[in-house]
Amino acid sequence: MTAGEATKTTVTVTIDGKTIEAQPGELLIKVAQDHGIYIPRFCWHERMKPVGMCRMCLVEVDGIRGLPPACTMPVNDGMVCRTDTDAVKSAQDGVLELLLINHPLDCPVCDRGGECPLQDTTLAFGPGESRFVEEKRHFEKPIPISDLVLLDRERCIQCARCTRFADEVAGDPLITFVDRGDHTQVLNFPDDPFASYFSGNVVQICPVGALTAKPYRFKARPWDLATVETSCTTCAVQCRGAVQSASNQIVRLLGVDSDAINHGWLCDKGRYGYEHVHSDGRVLTPRVDGDDVSWPNALDTVADILRSARDLHGGATVAMLGGAHGTNEGQYAWARLMKSVVGTDHVDAQLGDGLPAEAVLGLPRAQINDLDRAAAIVLLGPDLKEELPVLFLRAKRAALEHHIPIIDLSAAPHGLSPYVTHRLDVAPGEQGPAAEAFVAALGGAGARSDAIEAAAAAVRDRAGDIVVIVGRPSLAERPEATLQAAAALAGLTNVRFLSALRRANVHGALEAGLAPGFLPGRVTLDSGRARFTEAWGAVPAQRGLDAEGILRACADGKVHVLVLVGTDPLADFPDRVLAQKALDTVGTVIAIDAFETESNRRAKVYLPVTLWGEQSGTVTNLEGRVQRLGRKVSPLGVVLDDWRVAAELALRLGVDFDFELVDEVTDEIARVAPAWSGGSAALVRAARDGVVLPVAEHRDGIVLRRGGLSLGSDDAVSWEPIKPDDEKVPADPETTIDDTDADGVELTAVDPGASGTELHVWDRVVADHLRPPRDNYALRLVVGRTLYDAGRVVEHAPSLATLARPAELRVAAADAQRLGVTNGESVRLTSGRGSITVAVRATRGVQPGCGVLTFAADGRGAAELIDASAAVTDVRVETLR
């Protein structure tokens, strides 16, 4: 709509005598709800298409015969509706009586009891007695429909929330209605379980106790739970959630409906990963040389090591890897400790599997919601379904509901492949030239291929920005190919980038300066030197090494002290041989972690820190969105927050950070980090959807929350979408930003230039990277991660541990035939680096000449084949017969 058009864009409806302005086409049930009129319902869910099944939301509408359901009724101008007449009440009573005739009423032994919408709605709207005297319908009591979810069909009220979620939202139509009439049941296909990465969501949205989660079953009663809002830090999407505990044990994480991020959904790894917090494998006491010691003792030992390395050999003999799993505050404190106090720039939160900070921080950034209005989505990263599951849901939704074209520069099939509109079949490591050809075609140059021309034609006339989802498409190739493609795409005028780096708070780490050449707040050593010299006292003189360089320097004896902050290079670095050599050679390892790993087992000093659920503070997601973590349980043992460990070490090295509370760290970041300028701990706390960095640029998008977490009606926490805002207060579109007061926060105007420091912009310079010619007898590898890998969350969460699958090599059917291998057969793969044995499977969509291998994150398999210095990885395949 162009400005100045005077068309009326809202309609006026009257509900129960209340006059309400609404958007045309909005559903009556939603309009009523947004204005404080609750119409009871079971099947309707605002993130899914209405089906009008339960008939609980029947209302009277003038001019319409009978009682139409409010969930399928779009509002129109002048509509008059009543939700409280005798006829409506009698219909509600009738529907509830019918829903209960076959319901087992086993509430005392049902997990849902106490937070059950059927219970609550019956109490509020239903009959007190049943007149049904016949035998109720019977089904076998709970049957597993997946490893995580159980189904009790007797309790089911056939609302289709779960089946719609599986099909519409997750794209895994593995549970459906079976049979019909009053025999209708939800069921999976025999031997084909509901193995969706998103299965836990159906438990959360089930309006009865039909679907229950194995990890939560019989663990607690709803009235015994305490709840706090938080962000999930399983991956960098950082879905909003509500973490619940009983007796100092986290027992459940529920999705909170953040419009900006997750729409209420969580992946199962995020939802059930909390179990790792209470794992027996936690290290709960500081150790020196393997012996439990006191914190002062351990801290003194580390301080001595760092001091002597710094003073005798120079700060550059100390290096730090990791930190991507910490809070913004921990990352900032560690950046300050290493870069200012120890004096080294050999600091990298990534592990050779991401992209350089120069590119990630310096590209024009997109937000997740930009996907819904993009001119096109370009895929230049890993398999989102495996690495950033809820971002996959959002991209899928953009494709299906908003019909956004998806242009795929991936070399291997992935979760979004079914929704891709333009697949360019790019060979591994060739995405640079492909992107350049696409950009040229967009500019009108003759396209190199029909596919590229078709993709360009699909985008050319569309409004909006092209959103490029950029990450590391394959661990078996160096990042330059991706950077070359990103550089080409960044030359377009209407383009934004959504980073697809996966580790929980890796974007927070980059923003905090846990990368070589950077200081907190998106500035380089050079541009931030003056500012941080003043704030910190000192900054490194020159750019340090990245993870690969650090490991090489360890191996070469140039780095003597390696600090591992929550990271395990032996398991997680793509090049196992290099990691092994580095760890074998380096003089001293200091570990800051929560679990024992292969890498930190050799640490001189081990400092145990808190985990998610035990920490407060803030985190930053892949959009640059800063949100608060909720601290729900007290840690066992004597573990400390990561920021406090850094501050204690700094004090022992003679610098007092003067941090007492985590908010003081946040406020210091906001004070010194240019991208944070205008932010504060109080603002992050008050902002409903968090604060997107740089704060000054996104200030207008900040919505201050008015109330606490909305736990739905009648305390039915996990059924209605949980909102991060108290939606019972009518939203007034004119004043979404309250400039005067919300919890005492003031939003004052910020001049982005006021900090006097230019935020970093990528110069789009990419180093040459020569790709060897293709060898017809070898497969060029594409190595990607899988959701349930052998990483620490999966390993230490009992419910998830069994879901990990062994690595597999996927090849094109033609290659399987050429190699003479059958599905499931073991083959030996040999690269220049090493050789492994793995099962092979012919898979549709894999390009001929490619091998797609999963990265297990246990240091075995793919990592033994990859040479971090090689542009691509080619392997020979031998059968073992």
Nearer to other proteins, 53 or 459 (CB): 53
357 binds other proteins (CB under 8 A): no
Least Å from the CB of residue 390 to other proteins: 22
Omega into 694 within 30° of 0, i.e. cis? Answer: yes
**Binds other proteins (CB under 8 A): choice among 83, 146, 188, 482:** 188
121 binds other proteins (CB under 8 A): no
DSSP string, 416-455: TGGG-SEE--PPTT-HHHHHHHHHHHHTTPPPSSHHHHHH
Nearer to other proteins, 134 or 280 (CB): 134
Stretch that binds other proteins, among 55-63, 243-251, 502-510, 849-857 (CB under 8 A): 55-63
102 binds other proteins (CB under 8 A): yes
190 binds other proteins (CB under 8 A): yes
Stretch that binds other proteins, among 32-40, 53-61, 261-269, 475-483 (CB under 8 A): 53-61
Stretch that binds other proteins, among 126-134, 281-289, 354-362, 741-749 (CB under 8 A): 126-134
Nearer to other proteins, 61 or 316 (CB): 61
- For residues 137 to 166, the per-residue mask of contacts with other proteins, x marking binding by CB under 8 A and - elsewhere, is --------------------xx--------
Distance between CA atoms of 867 and 837, rounded to whole angstroms? 18
98 binds other proteins (CB under 8 A): yes
**Binds other proteins (CB under 8 A): choice among 12, 76, 176, 585:** 176
421 binds other proteins (CB under 8 A): no
User: Among 589, 591, 503, which residue's Cα sits nearest to residue 791?
Assistant: 503
Let me know: does 565 contact 514? Beta carbons within 8 Å: no
Least Å from the CB of residue 131 to other proteins: 6
Distance between CA atoms of 723 and 731, rounded to whole angstroms? 13
Query: What is the pairing mode between strands 291-292 and 287-288?
Result: antiparallel
**Binds other proteins (CB under 8 A): choice among 2, 8, 180, 820:** 180
Least Å from the CB of residue 485 to other proteins: 31
Least Å from the CB of residue 66 to other proteins: 5
54 binds other proteins (CB under 8 A): yes
Nearer to other proteins, 187 or 515 (CB): 187
Stretch that binds other proteins, among 93-101, 235-243, 324-332, 583-591 (CB under 8 A): 93-101
Stretch that binds other proteins, among 170-178, 286-294, 300-308, 330-338 (CB under 8 A): 170-178
Nearer to other proteins, 86 or 768 (CB): 86
What are the residues whose beta carbons fall under 8 Å from the beta carbon of 393, sequence distance 6 or more?
A: 169, 170, 198, 262, 263, 265
Stretch that binds other proteins, among 26-34, 84-92, 511-519, 729-737 (CB under 8 A): 84-92
Q: How far is CA 458 from CA 407, 421, 462, 578, in A?
A: 9, 9, 8, 44
Query: What is the pairing mode between strands 874-879 and 826-830?
Result: antiparallel
Least Å from the CB of residue 817 to other proteins: 18
Q: Which residues make beta-bridge pairs with 778? A: 876
| Single-letter amino acid, residue 338 | M
Nearer to other proteins, 119 or 484 (CB): 119
> Can you list the positions of beta strands (E) in 226-310?
226-231, 240-246, 249-255, 287-288, 291-292
Let me know: does 499 contact 515? Beta carbons within 8 Å: no
177 binds other proteins (CB under 8 A): yes
Let me know: does 639 contact 658? Beta carbons within 8 Å: no
400 binds other proteins (CB under 8 A): no
Least Å from the CB of residue 294 to other proteins: 57
**Binds other proteins (CB under 8 A): choice among 15, 99, 303, 782:** 99
User: Among 715, 802, 613, 800, which residue's Cα sits nearest to residue 200?
Assistant: 800
Q: Which residues make beta-bridge pairs with 498? A: 469
Give the distance from CA 232 to its chain's centroid: 7
* Measured distance between the N- and C-terminal CA atoms of the chain, rounded to whole angstroms: 67
- Give residue 311's region: left, alpha or beta (phi > 0; psi -120 to 50): alpha
Stretch that binds other proteins, among 83-91, 363-371, 665-673, 814-822 (CB under 8 A): 83-91
Distance between CA atoms of 241 and 259, rounded to whole angstroms? 12
| Single-letter amino acid, residue 373 | R
Stretch that binds other proteins, among 182-190, 264-272, 575-583, 600-608 (CB under 8 A): 182-190
51 binds other proteins (CB under 8 A): yes
181 binds other proteins (CB under 8 A): yes
**Binds other proteins (CB under 8 A): choice among 48, 80, 101, 454:** 101
308 binds other proteins (CB under 8 A): no
User: Among 88, 90, 116, 85, which residue's Cα sits nearest to residue 103?
Assistant: 116
DSSP state of 167: I
223 binds other proteins (CB under 8 A): no
805 binds other proteins (CB under 8 A): no
- Residue 38 token pair: 């609750």
Nearer to other proteins, 68 or 352 (CB): 68
Collapsing DSSP to helix, strand or coil, 376 comes out as: strand
91 binds other proteins (CB under 8 A): yes
682 binds other proteins (CB under 8 A): no
Residue count, binding to other proteins (CB under 8 A): 55
55 binds other proteins (CB under 8 A): yes
- Residue 403 token pair: 């019909």
Let me know: does 871 contact 484? Beta carbons within 8 Å: no
183 binds other proteins (CB under 8 A): yes
Q: How far is CA 302 from CA 76, 308, 309, 604, 689, in A?
A: 69, 10, 11, 9, 39
- Residue 143 token pair: 């049957």
Least Å from the CB of residue 383 to other proteins: 20
415 binds other proteins (CB under 8 A): no
Within 10 Å of residue 66's Cβ, how many Cβ atoms? Answer: 9
**Binds other proteins (CB under 8 A): choice among 25, 66, 108, 773:** 66
**Binds other proteins (CB under 8 A): choice among 5, 140, 179, 450:** 179
Q: Which residues make beta-bridge pairs with 880? A: none
**Binds other proteins (CB under 8 A): choice among 25, 63, 108, 128:** 128
Nearer to other proteins, 97 or 425 (CB): 97
541 binds other proteins (CB under 8 A): no
Q: How far is CA 10 from CA 75, 77, 78, 539, in A?
A: 10, 8, 11, 56
Nearer to other proteins, 95 or 412 (CB): 95
- Residue 345 token pair: 């720039």
Query: What is the pairing mode between strands 347-348 and 808-811?
Result: unpaired
Least Å from the CB of residue 165 to other proteins: 14
**Binds other proteins (CB under 8 A): choice among 6, 7, 8, 129:** 129
Stretch that binds other proteins, among 54-62, 239-247, 674-682, 715-723 (CB under 8 A): 54-62
**Binds other proteins (CB under 8 A): choice among 67, 333, 361, 485:** 67
Segment (H or E) for 571 = helix 569-572
Nearer to other proteins, 188 or 616 (CB): 188
Distance between CA atoms of 328 and 664, rounded to whole angstroms? 12
Least Å from the CB of residue 196 to other proteins: 11
Collapsing DSSP to helix, strand or coil, 119 comes out as: helix
Distance between CA atoms of 808 and 851, rounded to whole angstroms? 10
- Residue 835 token pair: 């050789």
Within 10 Å of residue 172's Cβ, how many Cβ atoms? Answer: 15
> Where do contacts with other proteins occur on this chain (CB under 8 A)?
50-56, 58, 65-67, 72, 87, 90-91, 94-95, 97-102, 105, 122-123, 126-134, 157-158, 172-184, 187-190, 192
